[in-house]
Amino acid sequence: MAAVKKSVSVKDVARLAGVSEQTVSRTVHDSPSVRPETKERVRAAMRELGYRPNFAGRSLRRGKFKTVGVAMFNITGTGNLDRMEGFAAAADKHGYAITLTKVDGHPYTLESASSRMSALPVDGMVVIMNRMPADFGTFEPLPGMQTVLVTMLEHPLCSTVDNDQFDCSRQVVEYLLGRGHKTVHFISCPERSLSGMRREEGWRETLRAHGIEPPRLVRGDWTAQSGYAAGQALAEDPTCTAIYASNDAMAYGCIRGLESCGRRVPEDVSVVGVDDSLGDIVPDRRLTTVRFDNKRVGMWAVDKIADADGGASGVEHMLIPGVLVEGDTVRDLR
């Protein structure tokens, strides 16, 4: 039994095929300047030896990794799976791979994400920013490392992309007003959520743009429990005919809360959520909600990096609008 060779290189293939290393390399890249018969001979040698190109050697030579790093401060988060779907899809399209890293946030800084990535084989990086990093204003991306932030905030040096939360609220409020409601009540989320705050602004400003003074909001904490409590509280206000909750869990909780007080949905009160996260969980009641295209957000981020890698960069800020999906929890008052 012959000793097992550590790894098969172009050199070994070249020797077996009786050609130069360069011709092997050319065959790997399917260069037109290699005779078909020669190619076949080389390919046969590759098969026989079980050759597979070494990523490190290639990257070292080329100075490129064809890989995009994704930094997350917490992996379990609404929409992350869809975003990854987008990362993977776009990466595939460009022939890139995705490297995932969880970054510990103590404190939560872009700098820590950046330095974590710098030691990894990546050409660019995406940071999923759920909260506000301490150094957002002063952060400078590593030279030569295209950096895209997933956030609604604009950054002077990094491209950014995210769902348009402001527009989401605009759509919901105008939809409800358009169906005859005099005002829209709001169940918000904890104040540390960037996207939630933006939804709140959108709700407030859209109402004002229509000459309506926003009613007192009810603060929730994303859970259906808090929506339930909010629903019970709002049930006592007879003028409340339309409620907009900052996510679906709270919206659904709210419906149950209203019902527990004898208010019917949508006959007495219309309810709208955000996220389209319930799917068909509640089979006899399709919630009216806003569906975001997180996959597209993910794709945009990776596209940006791959494109920059091949030429012009330039900082861009992209907001992707969601789509309002009608269920049967809204009544037309007109």
Partner DNA sequence: TTGCACAATGGCAACGTTAACATTTGGGTA
Partner DNA sequence: TACCCAAATGTTAACGTTGCCATTGTGCAA
Task: List residues near a second copy by CB under 8 A.
Answer: 4, 6-7, 50, 52-57, 59-60, 63, 65, 67, 70, 72, 75-76, 80-82, 84-85, 87-89, 92, 97-102, 118-121, 142-144, 223-225, 227-228, 249, 252-253, 256-257, 260, 278-284
Q: Are 255 and 231 in contact (CB under 8 A)?
A: yes
| Residue among 61 and 334 whose Cβ is closer to DNA | 61
Which token pair is 163? 């769902």
- Residue 99 binds: one of DNA, a second copy, none (C-beta under 5 to 8 A by kind): a second copy
- Residue 82 binds: one of a second copy, DNA, none (C-beta under 5 to 8 A by kind): a second copy
Q: How far is the CB of 93 from DNA (least distance, A)?
A: 20
Q: How far is the CB of 3 from DNA (least distance, A)?
A: 14
Q: How far is the CB of 24 from DNA (least distance, A)?
A: 7
Q: How many residues bind DNA (CB under 7 A)?
A: 31
- Does 6 engage in binding with DNA (CB under 7 A)? yes
- Residue 19 binds: one of a second copy, DNA, none (C-beta under 5 to 8 A by kind): DNA
b/e map of 283-305 (b: 16 or more CB within 10 Å)?
A: eebebbbbebbbbbbbbbbbbbb
| Residue among 138 and 178 whose Cβ is closer to a second copy | 138
Binders in 23-82 for DNA, by CB under 7 A? 23-26, 28-29, 32-35, 37-38, 53-54, 56-58, 60-63
Residues that bind DNA (CB under 7 A): 6-7, 9-11, 18-26, 28-29, 32-35, 37-38, 53-54, 56-58, 60-63
